[in-house]
Amino acid sequence: MVKGFVRTLEAVIAAFIVIIFIVNFYVTLKPQETLPSAYSCLKDLDNKGLLRTYAKTGQEDQLKQDLGSCLKLNLNARICSSLDCSAEIPENKNVRATSYVLSGEAIYQKFLIRVWVWL
Amino acid sequence: MKGQVYLLIGVLTVLALLSLRSLTPFIQTRPETTIKDDFFNLRNELVNAVDVSLLNESSPQKLMDNLNDFAGFARDAYSQRGYKLNSVYSFAYNASRISVGNFLGESMTGVSVTLLPTGETQNIPLINDGQSVLLSFTQTQGEFTVVVNSNVKSFYYKGLSSPTDGSVSQYFYNNLTLGSAFIKDSFYFNRTINK
């Protein structure tokens, strides 16, 4: 009878160890790295005075390169002066899109910058 | 089975989970654009449209055309993403030329624009969505205040500004007044602009 009790106690202790660990595992789970959003990358480029230059001169490749080093994710980007602004994106991925509008630099020129991001 | 076996299994499970945790990279990505981001983007670029227009010494009509063009363009760009971020603006080029643009997604009726301190008022019965009006007043210099009222109401986007008597989130810069919000019912705004 005592033996049975000890075995049950040991099993209960084992269960406690696992439960406490799992709870602690999720409570303390922190991301190793937090990536910025596409919008914040675009905003940074705008604050540095680069985004308007890229838009004005149509430097899409340079824009993609800068966004790539900021986002560290797969992406596609377009600089458009009209609302007809699409790009090739993978169909089987969960793609997130971001828009950023610009009204020119020195002279009035409207631009729509679209960025598509996927893992 | 002896009880120690359960203890052993428990410890092994913990070890397995620990190794899984260390081997699996956990990268968090920030959520993409929020409505607040878009509002500030629209706001800053409308201000920029005014700045570049003034820089090029554009006429009041040209400045209004640029504001209209951009407000409509931005609204259509947001609508492609499935939501409405509408705006209304008033711009005082000087005391004698004041424009009001409606990009609320609905008509504004009963609009009145009053120039203070003279009290000169102009009434516009209807400004359709996507339209703007350029008004001429007789006052040409000195301190002035523009008050724009409409019977259209709206609800403001929380976090952008405190609502006062039902007004919408607004932004004031130079002589530009911008109201922008998700429009549900109706909207009105008034504000003092000092030159």
Which sign does the torsion angle of CA A31, A36, A37, A40 carry? positive
Query: Higher model confidence: residue B72 or residue B184?
Result: B72
**Chain A contact for B131 (CB, 8 A cutoff):** no
Show the tokens assigned to B94.
């000087």
Alpha-helix residue ranges (DSSP H) falling in chain B = 3-23, 35-55, 60-80
Q: Residues in chain A with pLDDT < 70? A: 1, 29-34
- The shortest CB-CB distance from B25 to any of A7, A32, A104 is to A32
Contact yes or no for A10 and B41 at CB 8 A: no
Question: In which band, very low, low, confident or very high, does the pLDDT at B1 lie, cut at 50, 70 and 90?
Answer: low
Contact yes or no for A104 and B21 at CB 8 A: no
Identify the pLDDT of residue B166.
Answer: 32
Show the tokens assigned to B84.
């409405």
- pLDDT of B187 > 80? The answer is no
Over residues B33-59, mean pLDDT? 81
CA distance A36 to B118: 52
Query: Higher model confidence: residue A41 or residue B33?
Result: A41
Identify the pLDDT of residue B190.
Answer: 37
Identify the pLDDT of residue B25.
Answer: 64
Query: Higher model confidence: residue B113 or residue B1?
Result: B113
Distance (Å) from the alpha carbon of B147 to chain A's nearest alpha carbon: 27
Scanning every residue of chain A, which has its alpha carbon at the shortest distance from the alpha carbon of B65? A108
Contacts of B53 in chain A (CB under 8 A): 108
CA distance B41 to A38: 14
What's the mean per-residue pLDDT of chain B?
70
Distance (Å) from the alpha carbon of B118 to chain A's nearest alpha carbon: 34
Query: Higher model confidence: residue B122 or residue B23?
Result: B122
Distance (Å) from the alpha carbon of A25 to chain B's nearest alpha carbon: 9
- Nearest in space to B75 (alpha carbons), one of B105, B49, B44, B45: B105
Scanning every residue of chain B, which has its alpha carbon at the shortest distance from the alpha carbon of A36? B30
Contact yes or no for A39 and B37 at CB 8 A: yes
pLDDT tens profile B95-143: 678 888 888 777 878 788 887 778 888 999 998 988 999 988 886 666 6
Contact yes or no for B70 and A110 at CB 8 A: yes
The answer to whether B42 touches A101, Cβ cutoff 8 Å, is yes
Distance (Å) from the alpha carbon of B30 to chain A's nearest alpha carbon: 5
- The shortest CB-CB distance from B6 to any of A10, A33, A39 is to A10
